[in-house]
Structure 1
Amino acid sequence: MASDEFRLVSPEIDKKGRLLRKFTDEGQGARKNWSPPLEWYNVPEGTKALALVVQDIDAPDPSGPIVPWVVWVVTNIPPTLHGLPEGFSGKEEELGGDYAAILEGYNDLKLPGWRGPKLPTHGHRFAFKLYALDDEVHLGNKVTKDKLLEAIEGHVLGEAVLMAKF
Structure 2
Amino acid sequence: MVIKVTSNVFNEGEHIPDRYACRGVNISPPLEWDDVDGTVKYAIICEDPDAPSGTWTHWVIFNLPSETTHLSEWIMEREEIDNGSKQGFNDFGTIGYRGPCPPDGTHRYYFKVYALDKEIELPARISKSELLKAMKSHIIDEGHLMGRYTR
Normalising by structure 2, we get a TM-score of 0.90
Query: Is the partner of 1:129 in helix, strand or coil?
Result: strand
Whether 1:77 and 2:47 are equivalent positions in the alignment is no
Report if aligned partners of 2:12, 2:145 keep a CA contact under 8 Å in 1. no
Alignment of 1:99-138 (within 5 A): 99=83, 101-138=84-121
> Matched residues in 2 for 1:155 and 1:47: separation?
10
Stretches of structure 2 that go unaligned for 5 or more consecutive residues are none
Any idea what the Cα deviations from partners look like across 1:61-93, whole Å, max 9, x if unmatched?
2xxxxx110000000001111200011233764
Paired letter, 1:84: L
The alpha-carbon deviation at position 6 of structure 1 amounts to 2.2
- Which stretch of the first structure deviates more once superposed, 69-78 or 9-18? 9-18
Stretches of structure 1 that go unaligned for 5 or more consecutive residues are 62-66
Aligned residues: 148
The alpha-carbon deviation at position 44 of structure 1 amounts to 2.3
Any idea what the Cα deviations from partners look like across 1:23-49, whole Å, max 9, x if unmatched?
11111xxxx2111000011x3221100
Q: Which runs of 4+ in 1 moved over 6 A?
A: none
Query: Is the partner of 2:113 in helix, strand or coil?
Result: strand
Q: Larger Rg: 1 or 2?
A: 1
- Which stretch of the first structure deviates more once superposed, 43-52 or 145-154? 43-52
Residue matched to 2:37: 45
RMSD: 1.7
Paired letter, 1:50: Y
**Aligned residues: percent identity?**
34
Paired letter, 1:69: W
Normalising by structure 1, we get a TM-score of 0.83
